[in-house]
Amino acid sequence: MKNQGDVSRRAVLAGIGSTALLTGLSGRAQAAGNVFRIGAPNTITGAAGVFGTGVQNTIIEMAKRLNAAGGAGGHTFEVFAEDTQTLPEPALLAARKLIEVNEVKALLGVYSSPEALAIIPASNAADVVLMHTGAAPKLAADNTEGLGFQFYPSSQSIGFVLNQIVTKEGYERPVTLTLTNDASIGNSTSFHKYWAEQTGSEPEDIRYQPNQPNYRSELQQALLANPDVIILNGYEPDATIIMKQLYELGNTARVIAPEFAVTTRLIEALGPELVEDTIVYRFVPNSDSAAYTLFDEVYQAAMDAPGSANTYAAIAYDEMNLVALALELDPAISTGAELADAIHKVCGPDGEPCNSFAEGKELIAGGATVLNYLGASGPCDFDDQGRTPGNFGVSEVKSGEYVFAYGIVFED
């Protein structure tokens, strides 16, 4: 498998830091109108580097296209790009720089729960909208100003999905291996709740620390429970070590893990044999929609790769469309709170359906005051805590490739 992305462009972007990426208009044209500043603090390097370049390039490509089409509500877009390194501390530093120095009004494409949890106090205090794909339960609690939008399903829904997989596959002795961060703990805790309600028993939960060279002690503890399935709630760096050491320890239990743990890069690094038959679940975009077709075109232009290579880029595409539609609906937006309110108005289930900014702009011109943007990544129907539902796909690793098995829809 090839790691998706344009390496030369990634190097350029990594070197840019937060230099403005002015897209599609001359300096004179940009100075003439209102410039809306977008912050793109994305995972160019680190554990999620396999996704972050595509996310950032999608944001930049969308800004370019929106500007070429005349902008949104009299605004053109200016993107400031940063690398969060997939770590909370660099993410917070990047966000502060974007907020305080570059004076951005929205932060798009924030990847993980630790990054989003580090940023949200600063974005709340600065009245800046935060769009992210974290899942930790605390993100909803910390969304005190209503400025946060969570595009990835919550830990509650992930626990539901894990319980569905274990039940469907007929396993009876699950054990969870849980990285000690809010999202992973939330995912395991949610699964334990569903499993206990269903079976009356509580699985073993083995916690482990990040950035360790060896996890044999934790793995031996897990294997002592005689599991028939191991649920790995972590990320690619720790998963790479864990999958290798499980193989070396002679593990016969099946492994279930998220796409951001057992990545294509992990499979390449370890080889197909070590990950054969691993069950991988992931958030599934709305790939049959008109919006997804448009996203795929954007991603092809940005990365010279199909949109199916990067679900998180589909989310970034939707984030840009929602900001643009909000500005088109209310060109006088001047605060983060006003932007957040307008975003809710352009993606509610009771609004007039649209698949793109162009369609939404036409509806607004015709007098529509509420839209229902049908996203490339799936439904964008946010609740009052900024959370949205989502669908999941379950695949198996066969000969080094993901092979789709079935889908699961979260039922609250």
The per-residue b/e assignment along 154-172, b for 16 or more CB within 10 angstroms, e otherwise, is bbbbbbbbbbbbbeeeebe
Residue 298 in tokens: 């954007």
CA distances from 31 to 23, 35, 81, 192, 331 (A): 13, 8, 20, 55, 17
- The tens digit of pLDDT for each residue in 120-173 reads 999 999 999 999 999 888 999 999 999 999 998 889 999 999 999 999 999 999
What residue ranges do the domains of the chain occupy? 7-152+287-373, 155-283+391-409
Would you state the pLDDT for residue 391?
85
**Distant-in-sequence, close-in-space partners of 316: CB < 8 Å, separation ≥ 6:** 55, 56, 58, 59, 62, 108, 109
> What secondary structure letter does DSSP report for 307?
G
When the pLDDT of each residue in the chain is averaged and rounded to a whole number, the result is 91
Domain 155-283+391-409 CATH assignment equals 3.90.550.10: no
pLDDT confidence of 410, banded at 50, 70, 90?
confident
Asked whether this chain's domains 7-152+287-373 and 155-283+391-409 adopt the same fold, the reply is yes
Would you state the pLDDT for residue 248?
97
- The tens digit of pLDDT for each residue in 69-86 reads 999 999 999 999 999 999
Asked whether residue 91 carries a pLDDT value surpassing 80, the answer given is yes
Q: Which of 302, 322, 383 is nearest to 349 (CA)?
A: 383
- The residues facing 78 across adjacent strands are 22, 37
Phi, psi (rounded to 5 degrees) for 202: -110, 120
Would you state the pLDDT for residue 154?
87
Asked whether residue 9 carries a pLDDT value surpassing 50, the answer given is no
3-state secondary structure (DSSP) of residue 128: coil
182/114 Cα distance (integer angstroms): 7
What is the arithmetic mean of pLDDT over 235-263?
Answer: 96
Would you state the pLDDT for residue 412?
65
> What secondary structure letter does DSSP report for 44?
S
pTM score, whole prediction: 0.85
Lowest-pLDDT choice from 21-30, 220-229, 244-253, 279-288: 21-30
Instruction: State in words which class domain 7-152+287-373 has.
Output: alpha beta
357/323 Cα distance (integer angstroms): 10
Phi, psi (rounded to 5 degrees) for 213: -80, -15
- The tens digit of pLDDT for each residue in 103-112 reads 999 999 999 9
